[in-house]
Amino acid sequence: MFSKILVANRGEIAIRIMRACEEMGIATVAVYSELDRDALHAGRADESFLIGPGPAVESYLVVEKIIEVARESGADAIHPGYGFLAENAAFARACEKAGITFIGPPADAIDAMGSKTRARELMEKAGVPIVPGTTDPVEDVAAARKVIDDTVGYPVAIKAAGGGGGKGFRVALTEGELEDAFEGASREGEKFFSDGTVYVERYLPDPRHVEVQILADTHGNVIHLGERDCSVQRRHQKLIEESPAPAVDDDLRERIGKIATEAAAAVDYVGAGTIEGLLQDGEYFFLEMNTRVQVEHCVTEMTTGIDIVKEGIRAAAGEALGYTQDNIELRGHAIECRINAEDASKNFAPAPGRIGSYREPSGPFVRVDSGVEAGS
């Protein structure tokens, strides 16, 4: 097991990882930007290091600086959390090159699932159901139009190959909307992911967004921990998640769980990950894989009693999973609500600022995962 872990993140997920490490007897190292000097995560870790100015591109996204701090502090592993470098295959390879364990899947698995077109191709070959559409990038509007006319049909979703989090996603209900949708998705893909490549997928107008939590180790074991329903979204970003999913019965749970574990095994996955899919009319289609711990992992922990963050750390250390599929039992029901700082009068635009007062709810079966306090 690791003796010291550097947490390459901030906020709620950094606190969550540090809490798991404390309970496992593992020392922690925090990194922080100049704007986060007084942040909770910087004060909670055993050691804290300044890594740069406020902008993430000058601090939390600087691979060389984080590796340097890991070496200086003597950390033998790095946990990326979610966001920032969590799904960056180059970062995973940099850790490996430096002799530091990356707590997450192998870089090749991140590569495979990071490109939506490559992931769709791999899943199709593995026999995993995918939404009808292309597995290769579509070069231009004319090519997209031909594919749609020949095989997909309207309405269609135009998606950035490297997209995620609702970015690089446009819908064309008719041919007249195709050009704007194509250009919009490509433009956002280039802006947010440095990749303007797009692909075409049939747009499912009213699906349930159902994802399956998986855990895998280096010994070939892959299990699933049931599903979460994340259908309540705004601008394709999740707001409320719950487990078990109301629309999923035992038979469907077994079926989509098998799809998820087969998808993870197809890329030799290790650690905690999530297979996201769309459920419509009893059919389940692979959407994408998030090669990291999810924001909404909490609801699965509450219904299974399994600490997903700890299991991910153990898997990265080479330990076998402490559970088999037969051990997994869902008990009760959990609902998670994300609290965001937004301005409702401006179409819920982000509204950052200082928190004047802050008091968390408490009581039986109430859980709060946070990274802020009054004055933050």
Using one digit for the tens of pLDDT, what is the confidence trace for 210-248? 999 999 999 999 999 999 999 999 888 899 999 999 999
Averaged pLDDT of the chain: 95
| Mean local confidence (pLDDT), 70-75 | 98
CATH class of 208-338: alpha beta
Residue 192: the pLDDT is 87
Domain ranges in the chain are: 4-86+94-102, 132-202, 208-338
Residue 205: the pLDDT is 85
**132-202 in CATH: which number?**
3.30.1490.20
Residue 109: the pLDDT is 96
CA 21 – CA 313 distance, rounded (Å): 9
Residue 238: the pLDDT is 94
Name the pTM for this structure.
0.91
Report yes or no: 293 and 105 within 8 Å, Cβ to Cβ.
Answer: no
Q: Which two tokens stand for residue 60?
A: 């939390």
Amino acid letter for position 207: P
Of 304, 312, 296, 270, give the one whose Cα is nearest residue 20: 312
Residue 40: the pLDDT is 97
Residue 194: the pLDDT is 82
Residue 253: the pLDDT is 96
Answer whether residue 66 shows pLDDT above 80: yes
Fold adopted by 4-86+94-102: Rossmann fold (3.40.50)
Q: Which two tokens stand for residue 171?
A: 């819908």
Provide the annotated active-site residues.
292
CA 60 – CA 40 distance, rounded (Å): 16
Q: Which two tokens stand for residue 358?
A: 């802050």
Report yes or no: 155 and 181 within 8 Å, Cβ to Cβ.
Answer: no
Kindly indicate the confidence band of residue 73, based on its pLDDT and cuts at 50, 70 and 90: very high
Instruction: Provide the terminal-to-terminal Cα distance of the chain, rounded to the nearest Å.
Output: 34
Kindly indicate the confidence band of residue 307, based on its pLDDT and cuts at 50, 70 and 90: very high
